Amino acid sequence: MEMLEEQRENWGTRGGFVLAAIGSAVGLGNLWRFPYELYDHGGGAFLIPYIIAVFVVGLPMLIMEFGLGHLTQRAAPDAFAHGHKRFEFVGWWSTILGFVIISFYAVVLAYCFSFLWFSFKGILAGGELPWAAEGIEGVKKAEDFFLKTYLGHTTGSALGAIRWNIFWPLVVTWVVMYLCICKGVKLVGKIVWLTVPLPWLMLLVLTVRGLTLPGSIQGLAYYLNPSWPELAKATTWRFAFGQAFFSLSLAFGGVMITYASFLHRRSDLNNNAAIICLADFGTSFIAGLAIFSTLGGMAFVTAQAGTEVAINQVVRGGAGLAFIVFPYALAQLPYSAWWSFVFFFTLVTLGIDSGFSITESVLAAVVDKTGWRRGLVLPVMTVIGIAVGVIYTTEGGLNWLEVVGDFIDGTWGIAFLGLTECVVLGWLWRIDTLRTHANDRSDWNLGRWWNYAIRIVVPIVLGTIFFWSLFEDLTQAGGFIFDEQGNWILKNCVGLTVVAAAPVLAVAVSLIKSPVRAEQYDNVPGVKNPNLCAGRMGGFVAFCLAIASAAMLAVVVLRGNISGKIQNYFLFQSLTVAIVAILISNYIVDKHVGDYSFPSWLAGWAGIIATLDISAFLAVTLTNLTKKAPTATATHAPAEHLTGVSDVILGVMLLMIIGGLGWCFYRAMAAAGKDESDLPEPSSGPVD
């Protein structure tokens, strides 16, 4: 079903699109955040939640976003509005969060540009890096260089003065992003042939170099030796999911919806999504090998020199890994300025295409809604982006950058937004339309299980993480909004305000009437005739059951003082009732998928509430179980060698990445060899 018979700009080739989507996914997050998240949350054990996040939740959602963008040929807000005008806010919500992300992502890119420049100057100065010093003092010097000399960092919540040495690189970053996208996606489709393979090549060089350094195995032991008790913490799962969404550019910004909207009408969706997930996962995993093997080399060299610096003494999160620890480690090794140049060049090229992907999707959202010219909106957006970014270029900017980043990635931003996308499309829209649309043109087909993955499994998983971490946040020692002395915890309040303001603002923007759109939605099935609503009675019953289940859960959560027996009784009854509600509403929603009837909204809402009930049930159960579990031991006791389990983890991961990509390419080639007449007729849209 092609909804829009109009000529939309397109990528040119399949490769252009796949690389652009990989370019968006593979970014600073892979090299700057993933290795540290893995190290900090259980080493090899973190791969379990992460793989679930990428392949059980991320992949089906990516196909969903591709399907939606491709079917509607619109950026996120308009794409959601195609289902119903009321859904438009979901698209704006993700676009607004996208804008918040790009405002700080560009600042981190600005740091990368600056460090690239310092490394270049180091090369010119005969190889001396400005932060180089030996032993543990060297770490202090690298830290001082980044925090004091470069950032002029102040702790606390005050912003302080603007740092012009960050501001100008920020302007450079925005100008580069502007130049990449100003000519439209055709040019982007060409630029990514450089910005994707080049950092991969350099990452490969960094990895080979790291792995061949003496002591590298010790680094890998820190990276991969698993600490299983970490899996019992909500934070581990939350970080795994936050990282997976951030890394795949999912939900945030509606990037993948927008990118797919520029794809020509015959292009594959399912296989492309699988390739992108595998490539993104592979890049993260290999980036970790590069980083930690090099740190192993650093530990070895410092031990040899009698000034031993152990890996667990230096590794830290946030910007610390990329701008303090790794530059320090490189400074301990031969040809440090050259390697530092390679590392920051990798970061810049990795990050720039992720950066402009968000800019492009925000731009497309505004252009689709207003009909204003790209050439006008882009410069205005660039100026606004720089103006907002100024907050993070101040002396206290790094603190706020981390706060905003954590909130958007965590429970409050992404778990909630991703969940909303899935329930809206799964329960209130015709998810099967997206499946058949994707199957009609893909190298391999999705079964009906995919509908249930989007409608039930993914929301339950995301909902569980949402409630589980909510309970953890709210019960944390000292409080979440107020500290023990009753004072506001400013950073949590600001973070919460930003994430809570996004949906409110989104609703407001979606209410503004678009001058260019209106009549386009007339032919959308289900919306055409909202009165032909079927299954009202069943929907009503399911709705009552879902509410009853929610009420029982509320009793369990809010009345902590009831006896254990009653608590368990309510808990399990709520589960049973929610399952029945889901079965009824799922039946109604599935049955009324014809063009001339539309399932009752009550049935859809019953399904949504019941999936949330099940999530809350799981979260309460997990909270109870993990309360009793022994507290985790220190994650990273000094380790010299990879354990047997880590060897297995390493082997399985490499097999999965190589085997998975091999399979996808085989399917793509097999499909390309098929008779062209098997493919659906293209609409008037562009073809290669």
The residues that touch ligand PFF, with contacts defined as CB under 6 A, are 24-25, 27-30, 98, 101, 246-247, 249, 252-253, 255, 354, 357-358
Q: How far is the CB of 351 from ligand PFF (least distance, A)?
A: 6
Q: Residue 60, CB half-sphere, CA atoms under 13 Å: how many? A: 28
Nearer to ligand PFF, 25 or 329 (CB): 25
Range 548-568 burial, b when 16+ CB lie within 10 A, else e:
bbbebbeebbeeeeeeeeebe
Q: State phi, psi for 517 to the nearest 5 degrees.
A: -115, -60
Q: From CA 42, how far away is CA 39, in angstroms rounded?
A: 6
Q: How far is the CB of 34 from ligand PFF (least distance, A)?
A: 8
Give me the amino acid identity at 124: L
Q: How far is the CB of 32 from ligand PFF (least distance, A)?
A: 8
Nearer to ligand PFF, 252 or 262 (CB): 252
Nearer to ligand PFF, 248 or 609 (CB): 248
Nearer to ligand PFF, 35 or 539 (CB): 35
Q: How far is the CB of 169 from ligand PFF (least distance, A)?
A: 18
Helix pair 59-72, 431-441: axis angle to 10 deg = 90
Q: What share of the chain is helix, strand, coil (3-state, %, to 5)?
A: 75, 0, 25
Helix (H) or strand (E) segment spanning residue 36: helix 34-40
Q: How far is the CB of 468 from ligand PFF (least distance, A)?
A: 23
Q: From CA 238, how far away is CA 101, in angstroms rounded?
A: 18
Burial class (CB in 10 A: 0-12, 13-18, 19+), 338: middle
Q: How far is the CB of 383 from ligand PFF (least distance, A)?
A: 20
Strand-strand pairing, 598-599 and 533-534: parallel
> To the nearest 10°, the Cα dihedral for 83, 86, 89, 94?
-30
Nearer to ligand PFF, 35 or 604 (CB): 35
Q: How far is the CB of 101 from ligand PFF (least distance, A)?
A: 5
Q: State phi, psi for 410 to the nearest 5 degrees.
A: -85, -155
**Residues 429, 432, 435, 437: is their CA dihedral positive or negative?**
negative
With contact defined as beta carbons under 8 Å apart, do 460 and 615 qualify? yes
Nearer to ligand PFF, 417 or 609 (CB): 417
Give the count of beta carbons closer than 10 Å to the beta carbon of residue 374: 18
Nearer to ligand PFF, 408 or 461 (CB): 408
Q: How far is the CB of 628 from ligand PFF (least distance, A)?
A: 36
Nearer to ligand PFF, 97 or 330 (CB): 97
